[in-house]
Structure 1
Amino acid sequence: MTTSVQPPQRLFQDTLEERHRLFVLRLAQLTACSRQPDRGGYDPAALDALIAWARQGVSDAALALQRMSLGSYGVCEGCGSDIPVGHLRNRPEASHCVPCLRERPDPAATPRTAPPRQHPHRHAEALNTGDPRPWWAA
């Protein structure tokens, strides 16, 4: 049995084109919802987050396809090494290898400003006191 080795470009081009198409479609749907008076039934903050997610997906897929056309797809933009095919299989729009991703600052790692949510049963006394404040503010 022979195994053909294909460059990452050939393995993932169809996948990236399909992902780009789906993100564009989803972005159009979400944008249409945002123009409706009831925002399509979405919570405004959730809809804004979904639109940002879809925009990022369109951008990531387009940039990966651009790297593909330039011949640099599958090469880490951080260190210049080849991105493992397994990583590209999980995230075809990846532009960095895992070690370089670990070195990049994580925007999600910023400390939370809101206090952690507390379970309502732990504050049952606040519910029964006639206090008009919600249980989480008591």
Structure 2
Amino acid sequence: QEATAAYEKSAALDPANAGTAWRNLGIELYNSNRMKEALEPLKKATELDPKNPQGWYLLGVALVNTMEYKKEGDKFIPILQPGTVEAYQKALDLDPNDPYGAQAKQGLESLEQMGLGIQTKVKTRPKK
């Protein structure tokens, strides 16, 4: 709770860097394996700093880690959270050569391999 309050205060005191403050809170929660709690700060971070691939990648990972499963017969079928594919795709589109863009590409490929009928547009740009 104290960490959340500190990051919220930081975001309020320095609006120009509020995206960084929210992303840092999301990272702290993510690193503490508190994925559901990390979602809201990471969403705020991507709204305030939409050109940062790290925020989008971490949002995608947090969404994957909070997905639910439904039982069909003797199988459990994963149900992706809305925005999962888009978060990974945004990180990849922003900079496929960035480490977070590359990890987002791997995340998209993993989602495709889950056999959920997900169509992604995994692409890379040549390095400059």
- TM-score computed with the length of structure 1 as normaliser: 0.26
Q: Which has the higher contact order (CA 8 A, sep 6+)?
A: 1
Compare the two structures and name the one with the higher strand fraction. 2
Larger radius of gyration: 1
- TM-score computed with the length of structure 2 as normaliser: 0.28
